[in-house]
A = this chain, B = another copy of it.
Amino acid sequence: MSKPAALTLAAPDPAAAQQCCPPMSQQRLEPGTAADLAAAFKALGDPVRLELMSMIASAPGGEICVCDLTPSFQVSGSTISHHLKTLRAAGLVDAERRASWVYYRARPGLMRRLATLLTPDAEEATS
């Protein structure tokens, strides 16, 4: 295998994080699971990436072209590409090439898992 479609590096360990996770307020995470999920949070832990993620997730047809993402930021195109690769590696987005353009779409699976994990149980607290 040389490099069939480098775009589909499709989440190495996030695949392992595929099966899990009640709210962390209900149950302590196992170290291994914590490591997998921390990688996903880390991917969201950059302002540019988080904004990219929000643009992709809220894109009209469920997908958006890199050419529509890049102009919204003050960083270079190569930097945007790098951040998109990070999101892809984390399993948060998917990429597909059509003609000259590459379209990204969100992967709801992992997002939902993270959302569940963070959901506070039933408790109330404004602070």
Contact = CB atoms under 8 A, between A and B. Distances in A.
Interface of A: 23-29, 31, 34-35, 37-39, 41-47, 49-51, 53-55, 57-58, 62, 94, 106-109, 111-112, 114-120, 123-127
Contacts of A126: 109
Given A29-B54, A41-B44, 12 more contacts: A24-B58, A26-B58, A28-B54, A31-B51, A39-B45, A42-B42, A62-B123, A112-B118, A115-B116, A115-B117, A115-B119, A115-B120
Copies of this chain, whole number: 2
A108 to B, nearest CB: 4
Contacts of A35: 47
A120 B127 contact: no
B27 A38 contact: no
A119 B119 CA distance: 10
Contacts of A42: 41-42, 45-46
Ranked 8 nearest A-B pairs via Cβ: A42-B45, A108-B120, A115-B118, A41-B44, A24-B54, A29-B54, A34-B51, A45-B45
